[in-house]
Amino acid sequence: MSRTVVIKGSIIDNYAQIISNPLFEKIVREYVEVLKSSDPKLLHALMKSKKSKKINFDKVMSFLYQLTFKPLKKGNEDKALLHKFIEGLYDFWRKKHRFVIKRERYLKSFDARLNAMKEAELVGETFEKTVRNVYRSMETNISVKTEKILRQVSSGAQAIFIVDKSRMKREERMKYTWMYSVPFIWSVIYEPPVIFYTNSNKRKGVFPVIKREFLSHVELNKDWYALPLHVGNLLIYVYINSENLCHAAGLANLYEIATPDELRNPDGIVLFGVPQEKVGNDYPNGVVFKDELYVGAIPQLEENDYFGYAKKILLTVHNLIMIDRFKLPIHGSLAQIKLKNGKSATAMFMGDSGAGKSETLDALSRFSEVSHLRVIIDDMGSLDVENGKIVAYGTETGAFVRLDDLPPGYAYSNIDRSIFMNPDQTNARVIVPYGNYDEIIQPTPIDFFFYANNYTNVHSDEKRVLFFDKVEDAINVFSQGARMAKGTTSEKGMSYSYFANPFGAIQKREEHEKIVEHYMNKMFESGVKVGEIRTMLGIAGYEKEGPYLAAKRLLKIISKS
The tens place of each residue's pLDDT in the chain, 561 residues long, gives 789 999 988 889 999 999 999 999 999 999 999 998 888 878 877 765 455 567 888 888 898 999 999 888 766 667 888 889 999 999 999 999 999 999 999 998 999 999 999 999 999 999 999 999 999 999 888 886 667 788 888 999 999 999 999 989 989 999 999 999 999 999 999 998 899 999 999 888 899 999 999 999 999 999 999 999 999 999 999 999 999 999 999 999 999 999 999 999 999 999 999 999 999 999 999 999 999 999 999 999 999 999 999 999 999 999 999 999 999 999 999 999 999 999 999 999 999 888 989 889 989 999 999 999 999 998 899 999 999 999 999 999 988 887 775 666 666 677 788 999 998 888 888 898 887 899 999 999 999 999 999 999 999 999 999 999 999 999 999 999 999 876 555 566 888 999 999 999 999 999 999 999 999 999 999 999 999 999 999 999 998 899 999 999 999 999 988
3-class DSSP state for residue 35?
Answer: helix
Half-sphere CA count of 431, side-chain side, radius 13 A: 27
Q: What is the pLDDT of residue 227?
A: 98
* Under 8 Å between Cβ of 271 and 298: yes
Of the candidates 17, 152, 143, 7, which has an alpha carbon nearest to the alpha carbon of residue 85? Answer: 143
Q: 328-397+435-560 is classed in which CATH architecture?
A: Alpha-Beta Complex (3.90)
Ranges of beta strands (E only) in 481-560 are 482-484, 494-496, 529-534
Q: What is the pLDDT of residue 150?
A: 82
Single-letter code of the amino acid located at 75? G
Q: What is the pLDDT of residue 2?
A: 87
Pairing of strands 184-190, 4-8: unpaired
Q: Which residue(s) pair with 391 in the sheet?
A: 384, 445
Of the candidates 391, 415, 393, 395, which has an alpha carbon nearest to the alpha carbon of residue 403? Answer: 415
Q: Which residue(s) pair with 494 in the sheet?
A: 484
pTM above 0.85, yes or no: yes
Of the candidates 495, 181, 549, which has an alpha carbon nearest to the alpha carbon of residue 354? Answer: 495
The kind and range of the H/E element at 549 are helix 545-560
Q: Return d(Cα 136, Cα 150) in angstroms, integer.
A: 9
Half-sphere CA count of 2, side-chain side, radius 13 A: 17
Q: How many CB atoms lie within 10 A of CB 105?
A: 14
Q: Return d(Cα 285, Cα 208) in angstroms, integer.
A: 10
Single-letter code of the amino acid located at 165? K
**Phi, psi (degrees; rounded to nearest 5) at 489:** -130, -170
Ranges of beta strands (E only) in 469-558 are 482-484, 494-496, 529-534
Q: Return d(Cα 561, Cα 54) in angstroms, integer.
A: 78
Q: Which residue(s) pair with 448 in the sheet?
A: 347, 529
3-class DSSP state for residue 214?
Answer: coil
What's the burial of 172, exposed, middle or buried (CB within 10 Å: 0-12/13-18/19+)?
Answer: exposed
Q: What is the pLDDT of residue 49?
A: 47
* Under 8 Å between Cβ of 13 and 130: yes
Of the candidates 150, 149, 137, 130, which has an alpha carbon nearest to the alpha carbon of residue 72? Answer: 137
Q: Which residue(s) pair with 350 in the sheet?
A: 332, 451
Q: What is the pLDDT of residue 7?
A: 93
Q: Return d(Cα 557, Cα 337) in angstroms, integer.
A: 12
Q: Return d(Cα 32, Cα 539) in angstroms, integer.
A: 48
What's the burial of 69, exposed, middle or buried (CB within 10 Å: 0-12/13-18/19+)?
Answer: exposed
* Under 8 Å between Cβ of 187 and 118: no
Of the candidates 546, 528, 440, 429, which has an alpha carbon nearest to the alpha carbon of residue 478? Answer: 528
* Under 8 Å between Cβ of 190 and 157: no
CATH 3.90.228.20 intervals, the chain: 328-397+435-560
Torsion of Cα atoms, 253 then 254 then 257 then 263, to 10°: -150
Single-letter code of the amino acid located at 182? V
Cα distances (Å, whole numbers) of residue 93 to 24, 165, 225, 238? 9, 30, 23, 28
Q: Return d(Cα 89, Cα 32) in angstroms, integer.
A: 9
Q: Return d(Cα 38, Cα 58) in angstroms, integer.
A: 23
Pairing of strands 194-196, 448-453: unpaired
Of the candidates 122, 168, 99, 202, which has an alpha carbon nearest to the alpha carbon of residue 421? Answer: 202
DSSP 8-class letter at 293:
S
Half-sphere CA count of 498, side-chain side, radius 13 A: 15
For the chain, first and last CA: distance in Å? 60
Q: Return d(Cα 396, Cα 434) in angstroms, integer.
A: 9
Pairing of strands 344-350, 287-290: unpaired
Crossing angle of helices 79-94 and 110-142, in 10° steps, is 160
Q: Which residue(s) pair with 253 in the sheet?
A: none
Q: What is the pLDDT of residue 80?
A: 83
**Phi, psi (degrees; rounded to nearest 5) at 274:** -75, 140
Please state the length of the chain.
561
